[in-house]
Amino acid sequence: MTNAKWFLLIGLLMLTRGLAATVLSRLPFTSAILYLAVGLLLGPIGLNIFYFDPLKHAAWLETLTEIAVLISLFSAGVKMPVPIRISRWRPPIRLAWVSMTITVALIAAFSCFLLNLPLGAGVLLGAVLAPTDPVLATDVQSRHPGDNDQLRFTLTCEAGMNDGTAFPFVMLGLGLLGLYELGENGVWWVLLDVAWASLGAVAIGVTSGTLIARVVWRLRVQEQKHDVLDDLVGLGLIAIVYGISLELHVWGFLSVFFAAVALRQTELSMAQESGVKPEQLNADVAEPVDAVADGEAALPPIVSAEALVFKEHLERLSELLLVLLLGGMLFLDFWNWRAISLAIFIFIVARPLSVFVGLIGTNTSWRNRWISGWFGVRGIGSLYYLMYAINHGLSEVMARDFIHLTLVVITLSILVHGTSVKPLMNRLWRPRGDTARM
């Protein structure tokens, strides 16, 4: 398509999404299905008006998906309830680390025994497809900063943290394929990619988020108050944290998520030290409070809340563009028994089993285990990991095979989870305020 037609198409989709927001919110499926339908209609499966080759444009697609995931992770981080409680964070930590590892192992085993892939390719495919997606899982994630719904919190927090598990396995898979140095008996991989890259990411994120929160708060509360552009501060924090992480070889996605968490936690902590009531800050509340009660001083705006609106708009735009392109990457011959059986295995076996095992020993209710086991959305994050692997030396034959498998899994995830999330959340999930706990 020409540039003019692309502008028209994207503009029409954005206009429709904006004007019909209320109507679309009442539909029993997510907006991603609408974007996917347009992409399939205009792509090779439909009218064949455009085709987007992910292998040819792997470098560009890696950057685009990278930015989308970073924005989504920041948005997820600033929605985390305040204060942090170990009892509340234990289930998502178990999902992000224990369940993720189990999922990678199960997908790797399926790939080796049934898809006839070598071990390294199986591990790499497991790392690509195991993480739940922070971009496409909006409908099951926290709705606002401080949302105390434990189910939504757990799924949001898991999506924010599971990159700390996915990336080490991406490197392990590349190493087993001879494309990355693992060290003797994998020692270098364990020390650098598992220990340092994960712990260093958390440290960089927490330090950066805390520092920025304190600087902005002091600028705003002093006598000669300074104006602060929250959107730019938020974007700047994302870019700086991610840049430092890349330079120090730690997992940047994990750093950005924890930077956002620390930003909000620190801002609200400093506000409470100044005598502000927690409910005024929407800390750990079922529904956000906008109005300021009579006699209460107006609160200075905080970066984590003010920048979130802008980030959510960027998140919607990236979702629209990338899911549209996804529809334009698919051919009918991608839909073979290998790809469909892999998707079914992930949705029906790998995700539920890993969730149930990962949550053993927690006080998670059976209802929440079932819901968490079903809503393991695959999406933009998987596209990023795949493009990362391709740009780091994956052979063209294996890259094409991975593209076919990954695109079908993501597409089926959008369709299956996108049509079930609203009905199931509306019918099966009835939050009980502070008592709705895992």
* pLDDT for residue 294 is more than 60: no
pLDDT band of residue 412 (cuts 50, 70, 90) is: very high
Domain regions of the chain by residue span: 3-435
Q: What is the DSSP letter of 276?
A: -
What is the percentage of the chain residues whose pLDDT exceeds 70? 84
pLDDT in tens, 133-165: 877 666 666 666 666 677 888 888 888 888 778
What integer is the mean pLDDT of 165-186?
A: 93
**What are the angstrom distances between the C-alpha of 139 and each of 134, 143, 298, 384, 420?**
10, 8, 31, 21, 11
| Bridge partners, residue 147, by sequence | 285
Per residue in 53-67, pLDDT (tens digit) is: 999 999 999 999 999
Looking at residue 230, its pLDDT comes to 79
211-225 pLDDT per residue, tens: 998 988 888 776 556
435 falls in which pLDDT band (50, 70, 90)? very low
Predicted confidence band of residue 295 (pLDDT cuts 50, 70, 90): very low
pLDDT (average), residues 285-312: 59
Mean pLDDT across the stretch 292-302? 53
- In the predicted model, what is the mean pLDDT of the chain? 85
The per-residue pLDDT for 290 is 54
Whether pLDDT at 276 is above 60: yes
What stretches of 222-302 show up as alpha helix (H) in DSSP? 230-247, 252-273
d(CA 306, CA 139): 21
- Helices (DSSP H) in 130-196: which residue ranges? 150-161, 163-176, 187-188
Instruction: Look at the chain and count its residues.
Output: 438
pLDDT for 395 beyond 80? yes
Give the burial string for 401-417 (b: 16+ CB within 10 Å, else e): bbbbbbbbbbbbbbbeb
Reply yes or no on whether the pLDDT at 438 is more than 50: no
**Tens digits of per-residue pLDDT, 73-132?**
998 888 887 677 787 888 999 999 999 999 999 999 999 999 999 999 999 999 999 998
pLDDT digits (tens, 9 = 90+) for 13-51: 888 888 887 887 777 788 889 999 999 999 999 999 999
Q: What is the CATH number of domain 3-435?
A: 1.20.1530.20
Instruction: Inform me whether the pLDDT recorded for 289 exceeds 60.
Output: no
